[in-house]
């Protein structure tokens, strides 16, 4: 069963004293099963955003320990800062990341809230998906009046805390705990020091918009005497303007609460347009906390498409394009390995073939170890073949005089990148499949039960070792139309590359087929294996025909 993962992003009202911040994060990280992803202190806001992830029970234990330590060390009676706040742990959202529903995450948020209220004596309000009423969904509504107005607010029946005491905790304030979708905290930098002008851009952008006023600036009211609001341009966006003394600039501080509705790059470009309309310039932007990889990849594709450039480039190039286009390096260095969730969580395995140098790969193949073998080499040959086709597509997309066709070739390149990545994955998966067989043969066989279990394990591992090279055949075979198209319509100066790519694909399909057959030889009566063998033979024959057709096109265009 796959692990349930949730993320927690508590905001603590301390951004200056690094010793206090360290004690809080140490308390969180000490919980087994918690992975601390990011600690982002802000001096001007006097606030630190912490991000950690893990299985639900570990995460809510880590959150409790962090809230407890913050309550011990932070005194809200002396706290000041630019950011709105109402408690030592101001807000503590839980976010479903993997194999966890929002409903389950709400239950975990309420479990944490109950414990914080009962054991720590801190009033707790629930917000977003965990809110007890519509009035409490919005964090800004709960936090209105901030710490200074909290005692009076709690005295009102409609603002009785959801958990914990209903009396004011002067030292710790109150904490808001909830469950929400992934939120990107994102600041856009302006070439002004004016908070009022930054707010004007924020009000243009944010979903809530601004109050309507008459020509004298007086707020307009509806028939019931309520303020009339003029909605902003972007859905699921909260924004305000502020001045950051540390940087000497004003920013539009943005919360993107649903990046499916409003992406980071859409928010950035809207800020650029609205700032320009008001006589200002956006000079860059800043991410607070972490960002999902997908958001960066989408931004990279968006900005490449605006330039009419191919989006069929590597993941690394898409991320680089996003960083520079959004100006994420303006205020401080942006390290994707520390700011992108998936990169922070990944562990680089030096034993993987794809992480070796070309020389290291060749040396490992040439060693006395039976793996990597022909299956891994076939997959890598396929990856190189489709990479050549992708290269021709990218060169064609950028060819002088072919500007009107950039999208056509960009689509080919994007398709090629997907196929290349699948084949790269299969390089190590073929070795893994071989190792599974070796592990199965190593199982004990001292009695009939062990012998039966061993035989079943060997069979299952062998079937998997048939399926992996068969998948290599399928993916490599799927790349042949790309190579044929590049030979026919691609940049004529690179037609030979399309031909070499076709030969690599042919080697991949034929080589993987050999591995399918040798692994299948003891299971020839298995109906599923028979089906695979028949289809594999058909693919090889068609691959040979397509290779010859592509080479004929290539040779017809080479005058030698």
* Residues carrying an active site annotation: 83, 430
89-98 and 175-179 beta bridge pairing: parallel
With a CB cutoff of 8 Å and minimum separation 6, the contacts of 111 are 60
The dihedral through the CA atoms of 371, 373, 375, 380 has a sign that is positive
Contact, 464 vs 439, CB < 8 A? no
Size (the chain), residues: 560
Dihedral angle at the C-alpha atoms of 487, 493, 499, 504, nearest 10 degrees?
A: -120
- The 3-class SS string of 45-57 reads CCEEEEEEEECHH
The number of C-alpha atoms within 13 Å of 125 and in the hemisphere containing its C-beta is 30
Question: Residue 294 contacts by C-beta under 8 Å, 6 or more apart in sequence?
Answer: none
Cβ neighbours around 551 below 10 Å, total: 17
Tokens of 67: 């809230």
Residue 332 in tokens: 């401080």
- Whole-number Å distance between alpha carbons of 388 and 386: 5
- 175-179 vs 124-128, strand pairing mode: parallel
Query: What's the rounded Cα separation, in Å, for the pair 153 and 150?
Result: 5
Other Cβ atoms less than 10 A from the Cβ of 211: the count is 14
Is residue 390 classed exposed, middle or buried when 0-12, 13-18 and 19+ CB atoms within 10 A define those classes? buried
Angle at 185 between CA 244 and CA 59, to 5 degrees: 125
d(Cα 86, Cα 148) in Å, to the nearest integer?
8
How far apart are the two ends of the chain, measured CA to CA in Å?
60
Give the C-alpha separation, 301 to 284, whole Å: 18
Phi and psi at residue 121, in whole multiples of 5°?
A: 65, 30
Q: 255 and 229 in contact (C-beta within 8 Å)?
A: no
Secondary structure of 329-369 in HEC code, one letter for each residue: CCCCCCCHHHHEHHHHHCCCCCCCHHHCCHHHHHHHHHCCC
225 SS3 class: coil
Q: Supply 170's token pair.
A: 């002067």
The answer to whether 144 touches 125, Cβ cutoff 8 Å, is no
Could you tell me if 532 and 465 are in contact, meaning their C-beta atoms sit under 8 angstroms apart? no
């Amino acid at each position: 069963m796959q692990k349930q993962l949730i993320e927690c992003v508590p905001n603590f009202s301390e951004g200056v004293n690094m010793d206090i911040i360290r004690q809080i994060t140490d308390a969180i990280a000490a919980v087994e099963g918690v992975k601390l992803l990011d600690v982002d202190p802000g001096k001007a806001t006097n606030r630190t955003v912490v991000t950690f992830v893990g299985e639900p029970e570990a995460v809510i234990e880590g959150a409790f320990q962090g809230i407890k330590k913050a309550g011990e060390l932070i005194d809200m009676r002396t706290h000041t800062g630019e950011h709105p706040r109402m408690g030592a742990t101001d807000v503590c959202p839980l976010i479903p990341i993997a194999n966890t529903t929002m409903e389950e995450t709400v239950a975990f948020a309420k479990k944490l809230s109950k414990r914080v209220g009962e054991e720590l004596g801190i009033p707790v309000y629930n917000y977003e998906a965990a809110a007890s009423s519509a009035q409490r969904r919005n964090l800004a509504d709960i936090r209105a009046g901030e710490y200074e107005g909290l005692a009076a607010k709690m005295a009102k029946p409609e603002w009785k805390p959801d958990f914990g005491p209903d009396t004011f905790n002067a030292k710790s304030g109150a904490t808001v705990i909830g469950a929400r979708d992934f939120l990107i905290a994102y600041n856009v930098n302006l070439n002004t020091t004016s908070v009022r002008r930054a707010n004007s851009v924020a009000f243009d952008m944010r979903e809530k918009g601004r109050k309507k006023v008459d020509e004298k600036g007086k707020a307009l009211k509806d028939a019931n005497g309520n303020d009339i609001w003029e909605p902003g341009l972007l859905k699921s966006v909260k924004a305000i303007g502020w001045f950051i003394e540390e940087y000497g600039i004003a920013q539009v501080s943005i919360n993107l609460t649903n990046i499916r509705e409003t992406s980071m790059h859409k928010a950035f470009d809207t800020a650029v347009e609205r700032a320009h309309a008001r006589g200002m310039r956006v000079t860059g932007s800043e991410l607070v906390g972490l960002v999902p990889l997908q958001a960066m990849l989408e931004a990279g594709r968006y900005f490449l498409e605006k330039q009419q450039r191919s989006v069929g480039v590597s993941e690394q190039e898409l991320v680089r394009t996003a960083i520079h286009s959004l100006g994420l390096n303006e205020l401080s260095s942006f390290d994707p390995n520390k700011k992108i969730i998936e990169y922070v969580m990944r562990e680089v395995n030096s034993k993987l073939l794809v992480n070796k140098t070309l020389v290291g790969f060749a040396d490992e193949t040439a060693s006395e170890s039976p793996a990597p073998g022909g299956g891994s080499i076939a997959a890598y040959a396929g990856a190189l073949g489709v990479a050549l086709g992708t290269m021709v597509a990218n060169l064609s997309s950028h060819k002088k005089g072919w500007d009107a066709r950039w999208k056509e070739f960009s689509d080919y390149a994007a398709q090629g990148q997907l196929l290349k990545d699948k084949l790269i994955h299969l390089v190590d998966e073929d070795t893994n499949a071989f190792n599974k067989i070796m592990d199965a043969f190593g199982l004990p066989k001292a009695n009939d039960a062990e012998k039966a279990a061993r035989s079943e394990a060997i069979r299952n591992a062998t079937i998997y070792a048939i399926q992996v090279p068969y998948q290599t055949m399928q993916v490599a075979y799927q790349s042949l139309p790309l190579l044929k198209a590049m030979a026919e319509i691609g940049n004529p100066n690179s037609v030979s590359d399309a031909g070499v790519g076709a030969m690599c694909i042919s080697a991949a399909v034929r080589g993987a087929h050999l591995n399918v057959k040798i692994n299948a030889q003891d299971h020839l009566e298995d109906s599923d294996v028979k089906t695979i063998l028949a289809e594999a033979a058909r693919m090889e024959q068609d691959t040979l025909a397509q290779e010859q057709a592509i080479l004929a096109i290539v040779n017809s265009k080479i005058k030698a």
